Amino acid sequence: MNFDLTEDQQAFVQTAREFASHELAPHTARWDAEHHFPLDVIRRAAALGFCSIYSNTDCGGLGLSRLEAALIFEQLSQGCTVTTAYLTIHNMATWMVTGFGDAALKAEFGEKLTSGEWLASYCLTEAGAGSDAASLKTRAVREGDDYVLNGSKAFISGAGATDVLVVMARTADNGAKGISAFVVPAGTPGVSFGKNEEKMGWNAQPTRSISFENARIPARYRIGQEGEGFTFAMKGLDGGRLNIASCSLGTAQAALRAAHRYLQERQQFGRKLAEFQALQFRLADMATELQAARLMVYHAASRLDAGDADATLHCAMAKRFATDACFAVCNEALQLHGGYGYLRDFPLERMVRDTRVHQILEGTNEIMRLIAARKLLEKDSL
C-alpha cells in the first residue's frame, strides 16, 4: 500500500494550504467574534474549484476523488474550521444535483453551483427527525407540472444567506422509500427563514430553521425519480461524514501545532514546559491519536472511491473515531496552554467550540456506532 501523494495531490494540498494561510487564518477569529459569514472568501475559494471538488466535470466540477477532497478539506480547516465546514456542505449539495439530476436540471443549476455563483444549503434535518431522518414530515405534493412544499427544516447551515436549497421531502407515506429530493431556489414564495441560532461554535456561518408554506416549484426541479431522495441523502452522508472528519483533522493539526509551539516557549519552575516528561507524553499521545484518525479517514475515503461494499461501515467508523479523537486533541491543547488557552487571544477555545459539533452533525457518533454495529452483525464472521 503506497501512502505517498501523487504530484497532482501534492499540488492540491499546497494550493489549499496557501489559501488557508492567506485567506482564512488571518480572519477566522474576527469572523467568529462578529458572526460573519465570509461569502466573498467562499467565492474566491470557488475560483480554485473548492466549491466543486468531487462534482461532475460536465458541470464544471473538478471531478476529484473523495480522498483528494479529504486532503483539501484537511488543509483548509487549518485556516478556518467553520468556513471549510460550509464548503463541505456546499460540495455535498452540488454533488447531489450534478450527480443525480437530469440534463435539464444540471443545465439550469450545475455550473452556477460548481462555480460558486450560487451557494447551496442541504436540508434534511427536521425538529422531530434528527437521528431518525427517515421519519421526516416535510411534504411535496404534485399538482400538475408543479410540486407544492409544506413543512419545516431545522439546523440548516447557511440558511438565509445561500441561493439554493437541496430539500428532502415526503412524496409518499412508505417510510424512507417515500422521500424525494428537490432543488428549491431560496427566494421561492412561501420559503421563510427563522432566526440565526445562537450557538456554542460555528459562529462564522448562519444556522437557521426553514419553513415551507405552499412553496411551489416546477416538477423539473425534482432530483431523480420520486422515492429516490433518501437513497441520495444516505450516499451523500457517507462522503459528508468523511468531509466533516477531515475538518476535524485539520483543526486538530492546527491545535497540535499551537501546543507544540507553546511547550517550546513557555517556562515554569525555570524550565521549558517541553522538558517535562509528563507533558512530552501528552504531546506524543495527541500526535498519535491524530495520525490514527488521519489514516482511518484516508482509508475510508479510498474505500468509498473504490465502491467497496463496506464503504458505509468504514465511513461511519472513521467519522466516529476522528471527530472524537480530534476534539480530544483540541481540548488537550487548550489544557496545555493553561489559563491562556481559555482566553480568546489564543485560538484553542475557538477550536474546542468549533470541533465539538462535529461529534453531532452528519449523524451523531452514537448513530455511527449503530451503523457500524449493524454492518458488522450482518457479516457471518469478522
Q: Could you list the active site residues?
A: 362
Give the other-Cβ count within 10 Å of 304's Cβ: 24
H or E, element range at 143: strand 139-143
**Dihedral angle sign, alpha carbons of residues 30, 31, 32, 36:** positive
Q: Report phi then psi at 177, rounded to 5.
A: -75, -5
Q: Which residues pair with 180 in a beta bridge?
A: 169
SS3 category, 46: helix
Torsion, Cα 219 223 224 227, to 10 degrees, reads: -80
Instruction: Give the C-alpha distances (Å, rounded to integers) separating 179 from 222, 328, 335.
Output: 11, 37, 45
Question: DSSP assignment, residue 203?
Answer: T
Residue 362's closest CA among 83, 121, 64, 124? 124
Whether the CB-CB separation of 204 and 32 falls below 8 Å is answered with yes
Please spell the DSSP secondary structure of 288-347, one letter per residue: HHHHHHHHHHHHHHHHHHTT-TTHHHHHHHHHHHHHHHHHHHHHHHHHHTGGGGGSTTSS
- The DSSP symbol for 4 reads P
Cα gap 247→75, rounded to integer Å: 8
Q: Are 244 and 323 in contact (CB under 8 A)?
A: yes
How many other C-beta atoms are found inside a 10 Å radius of the C-beta of residue 58? 13
CA distance 245 to 249: 6
CA distance 46 to 265: 38
**How many whole angstroms separate alpha carbon 87 and alpha carbon 70?**
12
270: left (phi over 0), alpha (psi -120 to 50) or beta: left
State phi, psi for 150 to the nearest 5 degrees: -140, 140
